[in-house]
Amino acid sequence: MNDWIKEIIGDSYTDEMDGKVTAALTERFVGKADYDLMAGQLATAQATLSERDSQLETLRQTKGDADALRQQISQLQAQNTQKDEQHQAEIAKMRLDAAVEHELLAARAKNTTAAKALLASFLKDAKVEEDGTVKGLADQVSRLRTGADTAFLFEAQTAPRISGAVPAGSTAGADPRTMDYATRLADARKSGNNAQAVAILNAAARDGVNLM
């Protein structure tokens, strides 16, 4: 729930209203993680262009023999290669942070910073794929959401809709991962957040979970 809005409106702010607000915010605004990623990439690009311009001006004003000039060019190339690698690493980290933020928000994490801290060990070797996903991340978040010691970090789950013959009101024999995805999907559909529902269905499919 958007607690900051509830603090303003008070107890009259319902779950139904929260779902509509969340859907409207998703459609109309860029998430903070996405904004930070794009702003970081732009800042990196601007800094790189400015630095390259400065280097070209320095070379233009350089006087001396050809060997000295070639040596200076080689040094600049080596420095630029190292800086490019650093920039790529920074961008990769920003993309990973954005992917984790998306996954945690889709799972309705109350505090993404606290939840992310528990993923530190997994994230050491994690990387973002070409499609923007992180292999194994959905499963890690699902474990946090359903874990006895970590479930409190997420919004309370509602009764899940699970594909299969599990009797209504019963969770006997149900796979915890399927229950988690089904719960999140039901919440997204209830709030009318189609974008989030699609993201959850895709994450479930990658995890081998088939939902209705």
Q: Nearest to residue 139, comparing CAs of 169, 178, 166?
A: 178
Contacts of 118 (CB under 8 A, 6+ apart): 144, 150, 153
Which pLDDT does position 114 carry in this prediction?
Answer: 92
Q: Would 157 be classed as within a structural domain?
A: yes
Residue 144: C-alpha distances to residues 17, 26, 37, 115 (Å): 27, 24, 25, 8
- Return the residue matching tokens 């060997």: 67
Number of domains in the chain: 1
The boundaries of the domain holding residue 64 are 14-206
Each residue of 21-53: pLDDT tens digit? 666 666 665 566 666 767 777 777 777 777 777
Q: Would 56 be classed as within a structural domain?
A: yes
Q: Could you give the CA distance from residue 46 to residue 54 in angstroms, rounded to a whole number?
A: 12
Q: Would 9 be classed as within a structural domain?
A: no
Q: Would 187 be classed as within a structural domain?
A: yes
Each residue of 41-89: pLDDT tens digit? 777 777 777 777 777 777 666 666 677 777 777 787 788 888 888 888 8
